[in-house]
Structures are given as C-alpha cells and as structure tokens.
Structure 1
C-alpha cells in the first residue's frame, strides 16, 4: 500500500531536525454545500535542517520517529 504524500507550508523550524508543516484541505460541507478550508499541523523529520519558514514542502508517512513525528520531508514527490 503506498504511503500518503501531503503538500504544505513550513510554519516553524526551531526544533533540531524537525519542522512543523501546515497542511490545508478543502472540502464541501455536507449540509451547507459550501467549500470549507481546514488546516492541520504535522511535525515532520528534516534530516539536513534544509527547510526554512515559508517553504512549500511535501511530507510522506513513515514509521514513528518520536512521540509526535510520523512524517518525513521528501524532496521529490510523485504527486
């Protein structure tokens, strides 16, 4: 089964080898029939500390790295 790949924006890079990525998803509300935007933050592993705040990155599912980290920053995405 392929691993999920999400696209988001880096909002924090203060941690060592970790970035916080904000992912926005849009969907139609089931009752109101209006497009709704919802965001969620993910902590992702950044091995080389290459990402800076404001960068657009792809993150991929992985095995748990720490208590909060279950995603890894990927450089090339097949999305």
Structure 2
C-alpha cells in the first residue's frame, strides 16, 4: 500500500481587505515596492485580487493571509487562510450623546 503525501506548494501572500463585494467575496490589495526601470527610484505599487471569504469573517481594513486556489468563479482565484490583524471598527469608536454632553464644559454665569 502506497501513501501519497501531497505537499502544499500554493502561494500565500499578505494583503489588506479594501472592499466587500457581495456574499463571501472580498477584494484584497497587496502592496509592494519595485524600482523604476529608468530612474531607479523605489515606487509603491499594488495588486488587487478577488478573494473567497467562506465565513464572511473579514471587514474592510483587516490584514489577511490569502492562498492561491483553483478557480472558484470568473474572477476569484484566492481564498482566506487567516485574519492576521483586525481593523478598528467604527462601532468601537462610537460615542453616545451622553458621553459628549458630559465632556463639554458648562458655561458658568456670574451674578
């Protein structure tokens, strides 16, 4: 009996979620730097890929690790491996009206 061990040689890269397109679909931007061919200045570039998010667990701004996979749709060729860093959500930054009212100093009148 022979046991065939399959080694996973698929590419994994790290990027940032920039858009939630629809159900289970996101766009991930992968930034990289490359020298200009003529002027040799380092130029910031980016690649945008469509990624499959099976559990809808990511939000815009999250730092994610993605892996190359078989074609899942017309554009999607990548899938989420893990969420490395969560983005700060607006719900965490939300401040109630009472908090604002308490922090504003009241005007004192002289009599």
Of 21-30 and 41-50, deviating more is 21-30
Give unpaired runs (5+ residues) of structure 1.
none
TM-score (structure 2 length as normaliser):
0.64
Contact kept in structure 1, 2:58 and 2:83, CA below 8 Å: no
Q: Which has the higher contact order (CA 8 A, sep 6+)?
A: 1
Choose between structure 1 and 2: higher helix proportion.
2
Cα distance in 2 between the residues matched to 1:55 and 1:76: 7
For these two proteins, the number of residue pairs brought into alignment is 77
Runs of 4+ in structure 1 deviating by more than 2 angstroms, as ranges, are none
Q: TM-score, normalised by structure 1?
A: 0.88
More strand by share: 1
**Runs of 5+ unmatched residues, structure 2:** 1-7, 85-111
Over the aligned positions, Cα root-mean-square deviation in angstroms equals 1.7
